[in-house]
Amino acid sequence: MLDELTRLTAHGMARALRVGDVSARDLAIAHLDVAERQNHALNAWLTIDRDAALAQAEAADATLARRRAEGGEALADLHPLHGIPIALKDLISVEGGQCTAGSRILEGYRAPYDAHITERLRAAGAVFLGKTNMDEFAMGSSNEYSAYGPVSNPWDLDTVPGGSSGGSAAAVAAHHAPVSLGTDTGGSIRQPAALCGIVGMKPTYGRVSRYGIVAFASSLDQLGPFARDSRDAAALLHAIAGRDERDSTSAPVPVPDDLIRLAESDDEAAGWLRGKRFGLPREYFVAGMDPDVERRIRESVGFLEDAGASVEPVSLPHTDYGLAAYYIVAPAEASANLARYDGVRYGQSRRLPGADFIADYLATRGEGFGAEVKRRIMLGTYALSAGYYDAFYVKAQKVRTLIKRDFDEVFATGIDALVAPTSPSVAFRFGARTSDPVSMYLSDACTLPVNMAGLPGVSIPCGLSEGLPVGLQLIGPAWSEVMLFRAARAFEGLTAAATWRNQAPRDLALADDRSGPTPTERAAALTVA
């Protein structure tokens, strides 16, 4: 019966908590049990903190009991996430807890304070189950670049969950938590959401404070929610969004309460589509796209049209330059951000004493960073070096402006949102792209232009290809998260009766086998094969 609790949505859990049908402690135990049982097979979690989670759950239950005694209005004032279990990507600071960012160089580091979003979630009464696995310093598209081993996709344990937030996505898809948090620098929420068959949103840049988050590329990083449906994802965004004086890039834009008021009825939700205009950018159907993925996307476009929306072809001509520009801007910012991991300020646990400071510094970073992080530091340092700054970095920033202008011009015509693929393929097997970095980078070709423009985007499940999930991406103008979630909720209403909607990840039963291979062992076997 405890496992059945993990199948509820977060809003279903919230209803049960308020009427007293279930306790926050029950919910925490149910999710902790399945996470601990299946982590051998999935490696989605870097740490699971049962004691802290149960203490938070008991505090949530005490508040619920007090509010019930005070009456209905007191209960209604509680945030929808009160008492709800949540998973946090391991680059989010939780006071006293580990924060490795998936890297050996931060092994043993304990955060001395809470991130802004951690404070917001504590205030909402959420229950932190632990920290999830990720590509090192959020650099990756497959979660194969974690220093603590890869993560398996619960749909097929031999495939990747996407990255860099693969642990957070896999944890939600496997019912270890109803909601989780990730970060998105070039697609690292939306792409794993697509590959794991869940909802994932990258909000407008500045919607969520980055205070207390380990930085990758500061002008691109943004925190966002994962969930199994749009209502839960919207509620999580509502909890973490808002201005924070400690983050100068955090925007003083009100957080709309409509995020926690999405339509409950499928028919009401689908009715919102009538008269809406969507744009279908031709550049997002990239060369090499899986034909079956393209079919699922075009079928989804047909559903929108059948519901009364219009879908028009549009062009974003500078999209083709987005990948090249991104892989100059992001590594350049990473090179600057990761300079602090020198064994003195950060990385003391990996410090290798040498004959002098420079030798010590080089040895510490050489041993503490993985190959992908070193590759991006070198790319970024080269792009920022004398003689190349104007030729590469400045030019990439100019291209970034052109990419943003493309989006602005399309939305200026009255288009409400763009509809596009999230990923050009479904989940791929371990090792399929690690030997070819450019092939791996192309995994984000459909998502990274949104980061370059600072816009919001959401990925929602839209069917299966060869038994694996396909993601549909919706992109809107700045601060249009409510509209995007309404569109996502409408699509859920349209497809509520689809058979794929009720399919659980097909390899979850295998994940219960603690004697089976770990993701690291699976990846090694596939590489040998």
pLDDT in tens, 428-473: 999 999 888 777 877 898 999 999 999 999 999 999 999 999 999 9
pLDDT of residue 109: 93
User: Looking at residue 2, what is its pLDDT?
Assistant: 65
> How many angstroms separate the CA atoms of 410 and 414, rounded?
8
Cross-strand partners of 311: 278
Does 281 map to a domain? yes
Domain annotation covers residue 450: yes
- Is 30 within a domain? yes
| Residue 366 located in a structural domain | no
pLDDT at 34: 97
146 is catalytic: no
The per-residue pLDDT for 501 is: 94
Q: Report the pLDDT value the prediction gives residue 354, as an integer from 0 to 100.
A: 59
Contact 462, 296 (CB under 8 A): yes
Given 23, 89, 276, 335, which residue is catalytic?
89
Tell me, what's the pLDDT at 298?
A: 98
The answer as to whether 332 is a domain residue is no
Q: Does a structural domain hold residue 383?
A: no
Per-residue pLDDT of the chain (529 residues; tens, 9 = 90+): 668 999 999 999 999 999 999 999 999 999 999 999 999 999 999 999 999 999 999 999 999 999 999 988 999 999 999 999 999 999 999 999 999 999 999 999 999 999 999 999 999 999 999 999 999 999 999 999 999 999 999 999 999 999 999 999 999 999 999 999 999 999 999 999 999 999 999 999 999 999 999 999 999 999 999 999 999 999 999 999 999 999 999 999 999 999 999 999 999 999 999 999 999 999 999 888 999 999 999 999 999 999 999 999 999 999 999 999 999 999 999 999 999 998 777 766 666 665 577 777 888 888 899 999 999 999 999 999 988 999 999 999 999 999 999 999 999 999 999 999 999 999 999 999 988 877 787 789 899 999 999 999 999 999 999 999 999 999 999 999 999 999 999 999 999 999 999 899 999 999 999 999 999 999 999 987 6
Q: How far is CA 125 from the centre of its chain?
A: 21
In a domain, 17, yes or no: yes
Cα–Cα distance measured from residue 103 to residue 120, given in angstroms and rounded to the nearest whole number: 26
pLDDT of residue 521: 97
State residue 321's pLDDT score. 95
Non-local (6+) Cβ contacts of 507 within 8 A are: 152, 153, 154, 155, 156, 157
- Separation CA 88–CA 115 (nearest Å): 11
Determine whether 89 is an active site residue: yes
- Alpha-carbon gap, residue 425 to 390, rounded angstroms: 35
Beta strand pairing call for 468-475 and 179-183: unpaired
Please identify which of the residues 93, 103, 141, 164 carries the catalytic annotation: 164
- Can you give the pLDDT at residue 348? 62
Closest alpha carbon to 48 in 108, 97, 113: 97
Return the DSSP state at 385.
Answer: S
The boundaries of the domain holding residue 20 are 2-320+401-528
Spatial neighbors of 324 by CB under 8 A, at least 6 apart, are 396, 399
Asked if 25 and 61 count as a contact pair (C-beta separation under 8 A), the reply is yes
The answer to whether 202 is a known catalytic residue is: no
Structural domains of the chain, count: 1
* Predicted pLDDT of residue 1: 60
Given 188, 230, 425, 459, the catalytic residue: 188
Please report, for the domain that includes residue 170, its CATH number.
Answer: 3.90.1300.10
Quote the tokens at residue 126.
Answer: 């959420």
Instruction: Give pLDDT, residue 352.
Output: 61
Would you put residue 137 in left (φ > 0), alpha (ψ -120 to 50) or beta? left
What is the value of pTM for the model shown?
Answer: 0.96
CA distance 520 to 419: 36
With respect to residue 405, please indicate whether it lies within any of the assigned structural domains: yes
As given in the structure block, the two tokens for residue 201 are 């949103």
Provide the residue count of the chain: 529
What is the pLDDT at residue 439?
76
